[in-house]
Amino acid sequence: MPNRSRDWFNQTLRDLEQAEDSRRAERHEWACFAAQQSAEKAVKALHLYLGQEAWGHAIARLLQELPATLPVPQELVEKGRFLDNFYIPSHYPNGHPEGAPFEHYGSLQSEEAIRYAHKILEFVRSQIA
């Protein structure tokens, strides 16, 4: 079976572009979700690059499941935890006690989400370069 890590990483870059486009359009809920998706796919690309399967959507856990020979800074895991909060509530109306998702996200969240996704992508890129 061919290694599809490059395909996953290329989609990561496109997802991050979508996050940035959504932020500029003030669709902060979508910016947060796309940033989360970008980081998730980046870590999955790294797992594939290393010949491993990766399941689930929790970026922090996916980072922690990388081989011990590839030390992941705890700060990066924390950034993954931050992004994990955007997987469901950023696009499902029942993800918050009340209000539509767009009412819960603003420029502060989308800026931070994109910044953290960039950090995770940089880490992955350094490992698969």
**Percentage of residues in the chain having pLDDT higher than 70:** 99
- pLDDT tens-place string over residues 64-91: 999 999 999 999 999 999 999 999 999 9
Q: What percent of the chain has pLDDT over 90?
A: 96
* Span 108-112, average pLDDT: 98
pTM of the predicted model as reported, rounded to 2 decimal places: 0.96
- Residue 2: per-residue pLDDT: 78
Distance of CA 18 to CAs 31, 34, 90, Å?
A: 7, 6, 15
Q: Is the pLDDT of residue 1 over 80?
A: no
CATH class of 5-128: mainly alpha
Tell me the torsion sign for CA atoms 116, 42, 11, 126.
positive
Which residues, 6 or more positions from 38, have their beta carbon under 8 angstroms from its beta carbon? 12, 13, 15, 16, 18, 19, 117, 121
pLDDT tens sequence across 29-71:
999 999 999 999 999 999 999 999 899 999 999 999 999 999 9
> Taking the domains of the chain in order of start, what are their residue ranges?
5-128
DSSP class of residue 55 equals -
